[in-house]
Chains A and B, each alone.
Chain A
Amino acid sequence: MQNDIYAISVLIAKFIAKNSSVDELQDLESWKKESPENEILFNRLIQPENFAQLNLLAQHYDKDAAWKTVKNHIRPKPAFRLKPWYGYAAAVLLPLLLLFFFKRHSDAPISPVSEKLQVNRITPGGNKATLMLDDGSLIDLEDKEAFQLEEKEGTKIKKDSLGLHYESNTGNQKIVYNQINVPKGGEYTIVLSDGTRVYLNAMSTLRYPVNFLTDFRTVELTGEAYFEVKKSDKAFIVLTKDSKIEVLGTSFNVSTYPEDEIVRTTLVEGRVKIHLTGENKEIELNPSEQIAFDRNNKLFSVQKVDVASYIAWKEGLFYFKDWRLKDIMVYLSRWYDFDVEYANESIQLLRFGGKFSRYEEFSPILNLLEQTGKIKTEIKGKTIILCEK
């Protein structure tokens, strides 16, 4: 119980110092919603009068004099095992609550047989997508066969085990659009006609012209994709529901799932300019920076992040750094294709961390969740039921 008090204090302090990120504002809202007392406390603490009053009380105490008294009572002792207290902010990890629940080992625990039979219905994803040509015809990209076809204006499209490749064909002047749809449990890679490589995550759609004939290279995205943009004189533009991202030659990740409350663009290298729909300003990102946009409250923040955790998926890994259980489950359910139910509301907000291959079977992951001692899991067909331990 102690630790959420300290976490909340930090959140409120940062709020008062006008320094809250979009994630922090969301966490504050969750805490406030937990009980009316929390909301009342918050509203009281953010009043300047409260700070003024505490300062007034503070005047009556003399910490220097008090320290002198305490110091005189202390006799120096040699063996002290705590690293300087003031390293705590970044360095010290509390073992009890550090929930890194999985590091991939080849001898992962095996679930009991009956569970395994059910969980076999929940399997990891793979290369799956559907291509829609300009005339609306659909081509399934899932099977292993390599093929080559031509769009109606002559551009050659090659498919192999790595994905789809578009051959540049600037001779033709007709603008023709294709669309790739990646379903639940799918991922796909496509190389556009300018050489830009796009890795698409599960439940994503990319719409793009088969050849870039205008002054800009513009594509439209829903879901999540990692872009490796080929350098060119023409700016590369990614349009999403909430933003327009302009790039010259760079690698970045865009996460813009319709059901997510917060959408993020993370820059790995290069430079991007982001224009949020409805805002007047353009925000430039530097490498390792991420813009997080809260759709509900129309707030955004820019932070330096550990990019590895946001692009791990394209390396075939899941890498959660202290995510809420509900966000973890939403993310996993796009890949493993399951539904989730919670027996208790509160466990959704428990935070976990972990790093593991996404081609892993699902049952070991559930086991490890149970091993943290905080969650009990139950599987009914394609539904996972989670409850408090």
Chain B
Amino acid sequence: MQINVVNHDNNYIQDFQNLFKDFYIPLCIFAEKYLDNKEAAADIVQDTFLKLWQKKDDFQHINQIKSFLYTSIRNSCLNELEHKRVIENYSVEIQTLNLDSFFHDHVIEEETYRIIVEAINKLPPQTAKIMTLALSGKNNKEIADALSISEGTIHTHKKIAYKRLRKYLRGYFYSFLIVAFLLQK
């Protein structure tokens, strides 16, 4: 357990900003799965980050923070839906949304997406665009047409990109080794 007392407020805000920039969109997408409403999703995510800031001293490890974020957002979303149901007589099918498996599957979906996007964002802009299109299922010709560059260039960019992604994703290797703990579902 590493405990580090940092003296400069700026560092905290910087760390918090980095965290925010990485997690904000995946969490909004996650909330949207529950609420089916983009504005409401964004509001809940913002509020949750503010709550996180209040509680930041409680956390020692990034996985605790992730758990807090995803769980709080789920709970807020379910509360909101219940509120709508009771007050506004808004009928919504929340049986599925209440399930642990729904939560579990969508955390995995959003986290997987977040990890890939985080790694892609470390690539130079042109390469990042190419990789995003490639992972979205576009073939080299389609990417070349979309970005007005040659197919040969695409190929080269992709080779470099996969190599770099390998390096960026390697850090996660340790995280997995140390915390992997497969339970019966």
Contact = CB atoms under 8 A, between A and B. Distances in A.
Interface of A: 1-14, 16-19, 24, 27, 30-31, 34-35, 37-38, 41, 45, 47-52, 54-55, 57-58, 60-61, 63, 66-67, 69-71, 73-74, 76-95, 97-98, 321-322, 344-346, 349-351
A81 B4 contact: yes
Interface stretch (B14-22, B78-86, B148-156): B14-22
17 contacts: A6-B63, A9-B115, A13-B112, A13-B119, A16-B112, A41-B109, A52-B137, A61-B24, A71-B13, A73-B50, A74-B13, A80-B12, A81-B4, A89-B175, A90-B171, A97-B179, A321-B177
Interface in B76-118: 101, 104-105, 107-117
Nearest to B28: A61
Contacts of A81: 3-5, 57, 60
Given A14-B169, A85-B15, A93-B178, A6 B7 contact: no
Given A48-B137, A90-B174, A5 B185 contact: no
A66 B42 CA distance: 8
A38 B185 CA distance: 10
B64 to A, nearest CB: 8
Nearest to B166: A19
A49 B109 CA distance: 13
Contact of B15 (A31, A77, A86, A344): A86
B9 interface: yes
Interface string B111-129: 1111111010000000000
Interface in B8-66: 9-13, 15-21, 24-25, 28-29, 32, 38, 42, 45-46, 49-50, 53, 56-57, 59-63, 65-66
B116 A83 contact: no
Contact of B3 (A18, A37, A83, A94): A83
Interface residues on B, range: 35 or more
A19 B167 CA distance: 10
Contacts of A61: 24-25, 28-29, 38, 42
Contact of A63 (B21, B109, B116): B21
A382 to B, nearest CB: 28
Contact of A6 (B45, B66, B135): B66
A3 B46 contact: no
A8 B121 CA distance: 21
Contact of B165 (A19, A60, A78, A350): A19
Contacts of A80: 5-6, 12, 56-57
Interface in B139-174: 162, 165-166, 169, 171-174
A54 B137 CA distance: 13
Given A37-B101, A94-B63, A70 B50 contact: yes
Contacts of A88: 61-63, 175
A355 B122 CA distance: 37
Contacts of A77: 9, 12, 56
A76 B108 contact: no
Contacts of A47: 137
Contacts of B20: 63, 66-67, 70
A178 B177 CA distance: 42
Given A9-B112, A14-B172, A41-B108, A66 B182 contact: no
Contacts of A30: 182
